Structure 1
Amino acid sequence: MSFFDCTPKFSVYIHRSFPLIDINSHGNLSTLHPALRLPVGFALVHTPSMQNVSKRTLLVLFSLACTLPTVIAGNWPQFLGPNRNGVAADETSVKDWKTSPPERLWRLEIGSGFSGPIVQDSRVYLYHRKNDQSVMDCMDLKTGKKVWKYQHRTQYRDDFGFDPGPRATPCLHEEAIYLMSADGILTSVNATNGQRIWEVNAREKWDTDKGFFGRAPSPLVYEDSVIYIIGGKRNAGIIALDRATGQIQWKATSDPAGYASPVLDKRASSPILWAWTRERIHGINPKDGKLRFSRPLRSSMNASVNAATPLVLPEGLFLSAGYGVGGNLLQISNGSLQSKWTGDRQMSNHYSTCVYQNGYLYGFHGRQEFGPEFRCIEASTGKVQWTEKNLGAGSVIRVNQQLFIMLESGELIMARTDSTQFKVIARKQILPFGVRAFPAYSNGHFIARSPGQLVCWKFEN
């Protein structure tokens, strides 16, 4: 069915604004999911029948539509970017480094942690640890100058001697930032001034287990809920809290937590929350926490983790882990999750999530300690297109047709999204060794961290 076959008799679409204004055939105001994208301030009006809509109503609604809040192109407000898929939305490709080299705007000394930076409008936010304090810093994007700081005490100690800082990347929505510390403290902080809104000790309230390396899944906002995978007891493996108050809204499963973050699937009429725990991949109704799908997916080894975040693709749901799990493309068929293909030789993500472009996945294959390969596979079949060795471990995000590959060594590689060959555009050492956190990209600004440094580079678009 085409757009103009829809039931509504009048619709207004504003670029990146939602919920969108819709007047149905009875003249009532409702909302409609975005179907088109138009320049800011430009509306598409469809009026096959306008008997129930007055000119004054149209004028008022058009004015209202023009004042709806917009999502600024270039925001990176959560783990893996605006759509939790590692893609910088609405960004243009970067110019050639030889003719327009990037400029380092600033560098800051920071504390420990694997939590990545996030960006909203002209501010950068970073969650890290200094001594016995988990610190949330807000900085100016252009200068790195501190705007505000929030901190709370942490007691986390890593059993294996690894970095003791936060693992989960914060999620910023509207005027609040949602945090999860490595020792299970869930916090909401005002994004404007850094004042605490609420705090919940998940470790004490739901007896959460810190696992091998601390609590790591990044929070996700859905409507008036903030969703966490905490691995709590008493059916509190996955929880939704009221964004405004921190009160519990629903709980689901008693699975221990993994390290993958939850992701929202909006392909169907009813959204699905995909949450990959240590034991299973769950498909959950994000409104009430009811399980819709569940499938076991973990290694037979006890000393193993599910760390890469699920990717919602046109071909299906892609999941990948090391320790023999490998790559898995799942599809919903006959009311259950079915495997389209699976294999440990195609794409085995240890902890770094792939990125997708036009039917192909780009990512790191193999265990970090053994020296993974960077490769491209066909998403629908798992067929390996090419493999690049000797890069070591790292993470990857996509900016338009370009891959930004941040290596653990501290080297940044920019390459093309080319399914026929690995084609490097440029490379530069920008951080010391030890980079594990995912970077952020916002309006030509590339922000990345190591355990002790945070840098911002400006690229010409």
Structure 2
Amino acid sequence: MPTISRRAMLQSLAGQALFAGAVRGQPSSTAAPRPLASDAITHDWPSFLGPSHNAVSTETHLTRELPPPLVWELEKGTGYTSPAIAGEDLVFFHRVGDQEVVENLHPETGESKWQFRYATAYRDRYGYNNGPRSSPVIDGTRTFVIGAEGRLHCLEVASGEVVWSRDLRAEYDARQDFFGIASTPLVHGNHLIVNVGASGGPCVVAFDTTTGTEAWRAGEWGPSYASPVPAVLHGRPRIIVFAGGESNPPNGGVLSLRPDDGTIDFAFPFRSRTYESVNASCPVVFDDKVFVSASYRAGGTLLRVLQDFTYEVLWTTQEFALHFNTAIHQDGYLYGYDGRNQGDASLACVDVSDGRVVWREAPQWTETFDQGGRERQAILSTARGSLLAVDGQFLALGELGHLLWLDLTPDGYQQVSRAWLAAAQESWTLPVLSRGLLYVMQNTRDILTGATPRLRCYDLRA
């Protein structure tokens, strides 16, 4: 049986895949999820990167058997967003035809409660899909979404009614940037923090969550593909923004902001010198430290925030340059996927005390599949994957649609289980976990089955 490379397999199958019909059908239910264990710890997932804003989940009692049972699936339009979940509400954001669509689904059945639509003319200038990139955020009775062209809406979670809206491109001259507006906003108290990235400033704007009025503005750097994260440093709340999108010459870096009025503690420049580059990996905050990383020969750096809210650089490295996945900090080590392209991506562990790469692996395996009635094999990998730390181990989603349980420690990498959920490229969206259910976004057509992009809900309850 011939074994072919990953690139050859993708090129071969892309020309033979089935072409599916028009998007968007009703959700297809397969089976009800298993009951939760009586002592299972669960949580909502109200925003990108989860309730703790760092891709670390406290959920427990999760099965290691893969593939997990499929609960329901929904054909979706274009986009790279992940859903937000609170209670019995799942808010999903995608594009269908020439409209950006926000909809509320039941998390366990996929049943649609309402849809809110508006027109969009966004086109990706590099040929990627034309859907939204910024994920929804749920805060109490309201949800917030930002489209690829900068349309910001606050909607009632229960009904989908518009509470208020802003047009960031028209009002702030916000740039469409290389791949559209993509940073997910952050709710902090009664403020919605948005990396607007207007030309010449402001970089960051806080809107009143109730009225949509501007509360404060800060900074002059441009937009970003990373999202703001909250922090508590030296006992005081802060917002950490990692700016850096289209600008000439390239600029951007870390901003530490006071959430009440936007006062900037410090601005640390960190950006590739390449014009066509972005900062897309979210900042990682732990103890009194902030780690940021970018591809395009930028590398990674660890800052220590001092008592007076100045900073010092602890170390920099070219050996841990994350493209768009976010590193995870565990017990003094960082784990993440280094590398800009599929072929040069690897999973690495970094000692935060000195920036040294403790180990590096490029997970690979031989995959057997059917192609036109013939059994074929290909050497595949996670490539530029994403990580979610949960239940004592890590879930990884590879960019070709593989889901893996991994055991990652400073001693090395071990695969616990693996399944190919969909033979779909651009599986770049971090999965969402809430109440033992895992939500995985298939962003492109399955090159083996022809299945269209879809949102799938899997049962991970043990």
Which deviations, in whole Å up to 9, do the C-alpha atoms of 1:326-378 show, x marking residues without a partner?
Answer: 11110123642211111011x21001111122112111001134431012222
- Between the aligned partners of 1:363 and 1:328, the Cα distance in structure 2 is 14
1:374 aligns with 347
The CA deviation string for residues 227-265 of structure 1, in whole angstroms up to 9 with x for no partner, is 100111353221000101111111111211121100111
- State which of 443, 449, 456 in structure 1 corresponds to 2:441: 449
The structure-2 alpha-carbon separation of the partners of 1:378 and 1:177, relative to structure 1 and needing over 3 Å to count, comes to same
Counterparts of 1:65-80 in structure 2, within 5 Å, are: 73-80=42-49
| Partner residue in 1 for 2:133 | 167
> Are residue 343 (structure 1) and residue 317 (structure 2) matched?
yes
Look up the SS of the partner of 2:93 in the other structure. strand
Give the letter aligned to residue 459 of structure 1. L
State how far apart, in whole Å, the 1-side matches of 2:84 and 2:65 are.
Answer: 24
Find runs of 4+ consecutive structure 1 residues off by over 6 angstroms: none
Contact kept? 2:93, 2:136, Cα under 8 Å: yes
Structure 2 unmatched ranges of 5 or more:
1-40, 245-251, 365-381, 444-452
1:296 equivalent in alignment to 2:269: yes
Aligned equivalents of 2:65, 2:428: Cα separation in 1: 24
* Counterparts of residues 183-332 of structure 1 (less than 5 Å): 183-233=149-199, 235-278=201-244, 279-314=252-287, 316-332=289-305
Conserved? CA contact 2:200–2:221, under 8 Å: no
Residues in 1 aligned to 2:110 and 2:61: alpha-carbon distance in whole angstroms: 24
Separation in 2 of the partners of 1:303 and 1:412?
Answer: 31
1:132 lines up with 2:98 in the alignment: yes
- Give the Cα separation in 2 of the matches to 1:423 and 1:94: 18
Cα displacement string for residues 88-111 of structure 1 (whole angstroms, at most 9, x for unaligned residues): 13x11523418xx62110111000
Give the 5 Å matches for 1:49-64.
none
Scaled by the length of structure 2, the TM-score of the pair is: 0.81
Structure 1 residue 388 corresponds to structure 2 residue 361: yes
Q: CA deviation at 1:123?
A: 2.8
1:149-184 CA deviation, whole Å, 9 max, x = no partner?
111111211111111100111111111111111101
Match of 2:391 among 397, 400, 404: 400
Instruction: Report the 3-state secondary structure (helix = DSSP H, G, I; strand = E; otherwise coil) of the residue aligned with 1:266.
Output: strand
Of 79-88 and 395-404, the range deviating more from structure 2: 395-404
Indicate the SS of the match to 1:204: helix
CA–CA distance in structure 2, aligned partners of residues 337 and 153 of structure 1: 44
Contact 1:401 1:417 in 2 (8 A): no
Aligned to 1:94: 62
Corresponding position: 1:430 with 2:421: yes
Q: Pairwise CA RMSD of aligned residues?
A: 1.6
Distance of 2:88 and 2:419 partners within structure 1: 25
Paired residue type of 1:80: L
3-state SS, counterpart of residue 203 of structure 1: helix
1:29-77 Cα offsets, whole Å, 9 max, x none, are xxxxxxxxxxxxxxxxxxxxxxxxxxxxxxxxxxxxxxxxxxx942111
| Secondary structure of the corresponding residue to residue 87 of structure 1 | coil
The 8 Å contact of residues 76 and 88 in structure 1, kept in 2 or not, is answered as no
Matching residue within 121, 129, 141 for 1:155: 121
Q: Could you tell me which residue of structure 1 aligns to residue 6 of structure 2?
A: none
Work out which of the two has the higher radius of gyration on C-alpha atoms and give 1 or 2: 1
Residue of structure 1 equivalent to 2:50? 81
Q: CA deviation at 1:185?
A: 0.6
What is the alpha-carbon distance in structure 2 between the residues aligned to residue 352 and residue 122 of structure 1? Answer: 28
In 2, are the aligned partners of 1:229 and 1:257 still within 8 Å (CA)?
A: yes
SS in 1 for 2:413: coil
Work out which structure has the larger RCO, using CA pairs closer than 8 Å and 6 or more positions apart in sequence.
2
Distance 2:172 2:357 in 1: 43
Which amino acid in the other structure matches residue 313 of structure 2?
S
Q: Does the 8 Å CA contact 2:234/2:288 hold for their aligned counterparts?
A: no
CA contact (8 A) 2:100 2:131 kept: yes
Q: Which amino acid aligns with 2:76?
A: I
Distance in 1, Cα, partners of 2:268 & 2:200: 20
Structure 1: state its 5+ residue gaps.
1-71
CA contact (8 A) 2:350 2:357 kept: yes
Paired position in structure 1 for 2:461: 460
Q: What is the aligned residue count? A: 386
SS of residue matched to 2:195: strand
The answer for the alignment partner of 2:148 in structure 1 is 182
Instruction: Specify the alignment match of 2:411 in structure 1.
Output: 420
SS of the aligned residue for 2:129 comes to coil
- Read off the aligned partner of 1:104 and give its amino acid letter: L
How far apart are the structure 1 equivalents of 2:335 and 2:90? 27
8 Å Cα contact 1:310/1:319 also seen in 2: yes
SS in 2 for 1:281: strand
**Alpha-carbon distance in 2 for matches of 1:381, 1:117:** 36
Percent identity between the aligned chains? Answer: 30
Amino acid at match of 2:243: T
* Local SS of the residue matching 2:236: coil
Q: Does the 8 Å contact 2:280/2:294 carry over to 1?
A: yes
Relative to the length of structure 1, the TM-score reads 0.81
